[in-house]
Amino acid sequence: MTESQRTGGEPAPDEVLAGVAEAVPAPEPAPALEPLGAPGLEPLAWSSARIVLGGLVLWALALVVTLAVPALHTGERDWWPWCCVAGLALGSLGYAYMRRGRGNAAGAL
């Protein structure tokens, strides 16, 4: 006799879960995934320092545009030029790090 039959109330949670566990089938294993991309393709060999330098150029361009258009650096947007300056500063640190030979993916092999 179960507890719910003895007390006349609703079944206990462990009784309900016991019935559910028997009724739910085990999931099937997922099929193996195929690698993305066409076979024989290799990643492009780009210098990490060149990519960081490109980012610096984009931050400099954003700073010039932000300072040239008054609506982009007044009022609520007065922090936008400082965001560009921070991008230039951090990018310069990254560029110096890359130029020293550290952090270049080609040297990691």
Q: What is the pLDDT of residue 49?
A: 82
List of residues 6+ apart from 11 with CB closer than 8 A: 2, 3, 4
8 A C-beta contact, residue 50 and residue 105: no
Cβ neighbours, 10 Å, residue 90: 14
Mean pLDDT for each 10-residue chunk of the chain (109 residues)?
Answer: 57 63 71 72 78 94 96 92 96 87 55
Residue 87 pLDDT: 97
Name which of 45, 46, 56 is nearest 84 in CA terms: 56
Rg, Å, the chain Cα set: 31
pLDDT for 108 equals: 46
Domain boundary assignment for the chain: 49-104
d(CA 6, CA 4): 5
**pLDDT given for residue 76 in this prediction:** 92
